[in-house]
Amino acid sequence: MKLSGILSILLQAAAIRRSRLCVVKTYGDGITDDSDNILSAFHGCNNGGHVLFPRGKVYVIGTAMDWTFLKHIDIDIQGRIRFTNDTAYWQAHSFRFIFQNVTSFFKLGGEDVWIYGGGTLDGNGQVWYDTYAANAYTLRPVLVGIDGLKDSVLSDLVLRHSPQYYHFVANASNIVFNNISIAGDSTSKNTAKNTDGWDTYRSRDVTIMNSVVNNADDCISFKPNSTDILVQSLFCAGSHGISVGSLGQYVGEFDIVESIMVSNVSMHNASDGARIKVWPNTASAMSSDLQGGGGSGSVRNITYEDMLIDNVDYAIEITQCYGQRNLALCQQYPSSLTIENIVFRRFKGRTSAKYRPLIAAFACSSAKVCSNIHATDINVVSPGGTRQAYCLNQQETNLDADCTNNYKGFN
């Protein structure tokens, strides 16, 4: 997001005073659904009001709610909002998005919406982690589902135990996420899966900054048609990196990701640091509920800079073989999705031992679809002190690493 975009949000908010106060009531027993009280407050203070969830109060949400009518409103969450563990209800009534298997507890939209306060949204994820382990086709809601939101800010929030992604940001524009704390491990043998910090989709002018993410999938993932996005000053742990994609999943779809800046990120105990993942031009399966391949599109003008690598399997990974273990098949059916004008610069740190002696993988299925990929000032070593990178269909002189054809596999 350009500075002018952030300033326009601030100026718009300053122009409309939030003079009405709506304190959200709660039944207070930790069981009864408070959704009617929440909707009442939102309607009562829409267009110029301040909704308050007071500190020390716990609110229960057991009903899927459409919040896309919000406009010129502050939502001050100081207490705790917890979603019920009724998996049968949520699978039947949560909001469906058209991408992959995404659903959400609520749908947040509208314009000039400020959500802040230091309080907590709790997705009650443990029951979902266990249910998904038993049935991979379980539809798990994301904790914050955004559809059509614009000129808005979400700041100073604690997000815990999401069933799936923590944020799915769709059809949105001119949004800032600031000082968001994300975490939620499983307490059983069934791990918390697909708990991306943010996924952007068909959205532009988004800023994500000053946040901490402890999760078990992408720290951030730029899904199809994500443009003009700034990510800065993040701490990511346990993740799959900051990822472009996956892209090219659906036949007949043209996916675009462009004009992305990722700066000042520390990546700890993760599978990847910076990552671009593209499906091959042939049917492939990542898992029983995630298959794809054969789509087209373009990735261009992407910059990753100033990244700290701490026990990360690959500091950098580009693959056009996502979801397909057979590298020869990927080269036989090269992706039609182009990757160009990509910059990785000023990386430092140490990888894990998983792919030693490799620190990175730059793998394109064809030289025709990859161009102008640069990695400079890459001060990352493997535990053995090596700086090797797997390079396939690359201009190797553009890469600050020791290129090799020693293939070690992809995540």
pLDDT of 38-60, one tens digit each?
999 999 999 999 999 999 999 99
Residue 411 has a pLDDT of 45
The pLDDT of residue 289:
74
Separation of alpha carbons 321 and 134, rounded Å: 28
81 in a structural domain: yes
Of the candidate ranges 148-152, 214-218, 238-242, 283-287, the one whose mean pLDDT is the lowest: 283-287
* 48: in domain: yes
For residue 255, what are the domain limits?
3-404
Q: What is the mean pLDDT of the chain?
A: 93
- 410 domain-assigned: no
For residue 200, tell me if it sits in a domain.
yes
> CA torsion angle for 141, 147, 153, 156 (degrees, to 10)?
0
CATH number at residue 168: 2.160.20.10
Question: Has residue 408 got a pLDDT over 90?
Answer: no
Tell me whether residue 43 is one of the annotated catalytic residues: no
Q: Flag whether 409 is in a domain.
A: no
67 pLDDT exceeds 60? Answer: yes
Confidence band for 2, pLDDT divided at 50, 70 and 90: low
- Structural domain includes residue 278: yes
Reported as a single tens digit per residue, the pLDDT across 128-176 is 999 999 999 999 999 999 999 999 999 999 999 999 999 999 999 999 9
What pLDDT was estimated at residue 156?
98
- Given a cut of 60, whether residue 177 has pLDDT beyond it is yes
Considering the entire predicted model, what is its pTM? 0.94
287 vs 74: which has the higher pLDDT: 74
Q: Which long-range contacts (CB under 8 A, 24 or more apart) does 22-28 make?
A: 22/49, 22/50, 22/51, 22/52, 23/52, 23/54, 24/51, 24/52, 24/53, 24/54, 24/57, 24/59, 26/57, 26/58, 26/59, 26/60, 27/60, 28/57, 28/58
Q: Say what the pLDDT of residue 7 is.
A: 56
Confidence of residue 405 (pLDDT cuts 50, 70, 90): confident
Looking at the structure of the chain, the number of domains it has is 1
The catalytic position among 50, 167, 240, 374 is 240
Residue 411 is assigned to a structural domain of this protein: no
- Tell me, yes or no, whether 53 lies in a domain: yes
